Amino acid sequence: MTPIVQAQGIHKRFGRLEVLKGIDFEVAEGEVACLIGPSGSGKSTLLRCINHLEKINAGRLFVNGHLVGYRQRGEKLYELRDSEIAMQRKDIGMVFQRFNLFPHMTALENVTEAPVQVRGESKAKARERGRELLERVGLADKEKSYPGQLSGGQQQRVAIARALAMEPKLMLFDEPTSALDPELVGDVLGVMRQLAADGMTMIVVTHEMQFAREVADKVLFMDEGVVVEEGPPDQVIAEPRHERTRGFLARVL
């Protein structure tokens, strides 16, 4: 079976700073991969490359069997047009640390915006699906609320519902609970847990080691632009092989 994500020797530089120094990994359909590692190790950059927000400098990145950002003919690569990139990005949902909801739209309008504007769904159909999604994230009673009237945890759950509204094949989460008050973290992780149980393919950057242990199929520990260690959570988190992984875990656990 083709993996949903295949990264082969990914390099990414910002000017002279090399941030990703040859990243290889795969995520199969239905798998949950948790990406852990110290601040500045390149985790967000890697997610942004997968979601077309950054261009890689070398290597090959495939999402859902498609080469990200390029078309290959023979040995040559051609950059995709914006419309083609938009097509590729529709398979990917992303949730950021900051919720990035549209502040002037209700929860339901936030969720239905893209299906109507980008996919041309009818408003009625988008609203019906939007209500189902808000129910799925535990916010059936908040459809008329504006982001400013919701807690951080509720806003983040709306952001998850909004990403799901495009029916992505892959969900990327970049520290989705890091900006939340501790008592609100559990509800967001609960929604993500359910999503994983429902079979969604997910890559999650997180410092929530308990979540990673329970939900991840594989954990990748990144440091200074490389994947130092990869394996099932019981190995990487419970019995890390590398000194650098042990040092990191000692600081966050």
Judged by the rule CB under 6 A, the positions of this chain that interact with ligand ADP are 14, 17, 19, 37, 39-45
Beta bridge partners of 58: 11
> Residue 45 binds what, of Mg ion, ligand ADP, none (CB under 5 to 8 Å, by partner type)?
ligand ADP
**Contact with Mg ion (CB under 5 A) among 10, 27, 42, 44:** 44
Pick 147 or 176: Cβ nearer Mg ion: 176
State in angstroms the smallest separation of the CB of 203 from Mg ion.
Answer: 13
Radius of gyration of the chain from Cα atoms? Answer: 18
Pick 42 or 168: Cβ nearer ligand ADP: 42
What distance in Å separates the CA atoms of residue 46 and residue 34, rounded to the nearest whole number? 12
Exposure b/e, 84-108, CB count within 10 A at least 16 = b = eeeebbebbbbbbbebebeeebbbb
Which segment (15-23, 41-49, 129-137, 186-194) binds Mg ion by CB under 5 A?
A: 41-49
State in angstroms the smallest separation of the CB of 176 from ligand ADP.
Answer: 13
Does residue 201 bind Mg ion (CB under 5 A)? no
User: What are the Cα distances from residue 84, in Å, to 13, 71, 73, 89?
Assistant: 24, 10, 16, 9
What are the structure tokens assigned to 176, written together? Answer: 């989705």
Q: Give residues in contact with Mg ion (CB under 5 A).
A: 44
